C-alpha cells in the first residue's frame, strides 16, 4: 500500500515545522500561468520572499494580479481583491 502523495507532503511539512525548520514554500495564485522570468521579477520586488520557493497555481476568479500565500501571511495584489475592498468602501459611505 502506498501513501497518498498529498498526505506525504503534508506530513513532511508538519514534521519540518515541528522540528523548527521554517517552511519555505510559498503559493502564488495567478489568473494565468506565469513564466520563470515573471516569477523571478516578483521575487525580486518583494524582499520577504527571498528564500522562498514559489509554486504557481492558476485561479481564474482573480481576474488579474496575483495572491501570494506563505505560512499564514497573504499578500493580496489581485484585481478581485481590490474590487472587494472597493465594494466595502462604497457600502461604508452613506
Partner 1 sequence: MKLIDQYIKEIEKDITKSQLKIKTEEVGVISEIKDGVALLIGLDNVSYGELIEFESGVKGYVIDMNEDSIGVIILGDYLGLKSGEQAKALGQTLSVPVSERILGRVIDPLGNPQDNLSKIKADKFYPLEKIAPGVVYRRSVNTPVQTGIKAIDALIPIGRGQRELIIGDRGTGKTTIAIDTIINQKSENMVCIYCGIGQKNSKMASVVETLRKQKALDYTVVVNASASDPASLQYLAPYSATAIAEYFMDKGKDVLVVYDDLTKHAWAYRQISLILRRPAGREAFPGDIFYLHSRLLERACRLDVKYGGGSITALPIIETLEGDLSSYIPTNVISITDGQLFLETDLFNAGIRPAINVGLSVSRVGSTAQTKAMKKVAGKLKLDLAQYREMAAFSQFESELDEETRKFLNRGARLTQILIQKKNQPFSLAHEVAAIWAANNGYLDGVSISHIEEFGNRLTSYLDTRGKAWVKSVNKSKLLSEDDEKSLEKIVKDNVEVSS
For partner 1, give the closer residue by CB, 3 or 68. Answer: 68
Grid coordinates of 81: 481583491
Do residues 69 and 26 make contact, with C-beta atoms less than 8 angstroms apart?
yes
Terminal Cα distance for the chain, rounded: 62
For partner 1, give the closer residue by CB, 11 or 48. Answer: 48
Grid coordinates of 37: 522570468
What distance in Å separates the CA atoms of residue 26 and residue 80, rounded to the nearest whole number? 20
Binding-site string for partner 1 from residue 63 to residue 92, where x marks contact by CB under 8 A and - marks none = ------x-xxxxxxx----------x---x
For partner 1, give the closer residue by CB, 17 or 55. Answer: 17
The contact set with partner 1 (CB under 8 A) reads 45-46, 48, 69, 71-77, 88, 92, 94
Amino acid at each position: 500500500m502506498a501513501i497518498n502523495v498529498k498526505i506525504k507532503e503534508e506530513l513532511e511539512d508538519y514534521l519540518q515545522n515541528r522540528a523548527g525548520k521554517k517552511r519555505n514554500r510559498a503559493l502564488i495564485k495567478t489568473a494565468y500561468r506565469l513564466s520563470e522570468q515573471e516569477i523571478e521579477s516578483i521575487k525580486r520586488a518583494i524582499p520577504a520572499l527571498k528564500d522562498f520557493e514559489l509554486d504557481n497555481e492558476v485561479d481564474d476568479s482573480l481576474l488579474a494580479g496575483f495572491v501570494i500565500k506563505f505560512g499564514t501571511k497573504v499578500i493580496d495584489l489581485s484585481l478581485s481583491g481590490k474590487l472587494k475592498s472597493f465594494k466595502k468602501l462604497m457600502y461604508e459611505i452613506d
